[in-house]
Amino acid sequence: MSMLIKDFDFSEIKSNFPSVSFEYYVSETQTFINCILCEFKTAQSLVEQWESIQDSVSVYHQPKTEAERWNVYLILLCPETIDIRNKYIIQNDTYIARKLIVENESVPVESSRVIQILNNELLGFDLKANFNEVTVDCNYNSTITDLLIDTPLDASVSARSIREEKVELLISYVGTL
């Protein structure tokens, strides 16, 4: 799965924010992840306008399904560095959408570069793992682990009964500490 550009009518939003460029990206296999790219010319304009933009997005961009509503991102792209305090506030605000600030990226940005950024930041395409040389030795023994080992997780009546017994054992064990 990767990200693709998709047509979206931003005319209403653009009329309110003429200095900001907007594009729309979705995940390739299904419209599960929706990204609205907002390109700012300065860090100051990003900090001053992000809240108003998210309010406009809440009015004009309504995802169709519940899954889509939880996977909307505002990608706030800027050619400058954002003050760390403002960056923290913006990226931790989850009203309407998750926010991702991309700093020090020349504007306007090519669609292929945006797709690369989204693939790396949202889908982890840039992550590499080499498990060939990894060994983990764990000699830790825990009474609680011993009590929980081989606990069935299915929804059958017998599995529930076993889990109830194990919970009672845990309560008894914790009570003796």
Contacts of residues 63-70 at CB distance under 8 Å and 24 or more positions apart, as own/partner, are 63/31, 63/34, 67/32, 68/31, 68/32, 68/34
Q: Please check the confidence at residue 161 and state whether its pLDDT lies above 80.
A: yes
The pTM (predicted TM-score) of the whole model is 0.67
76-100, pLDDT tens digit by residue? Answer: 999 999 999 999 999 999 888 899 9
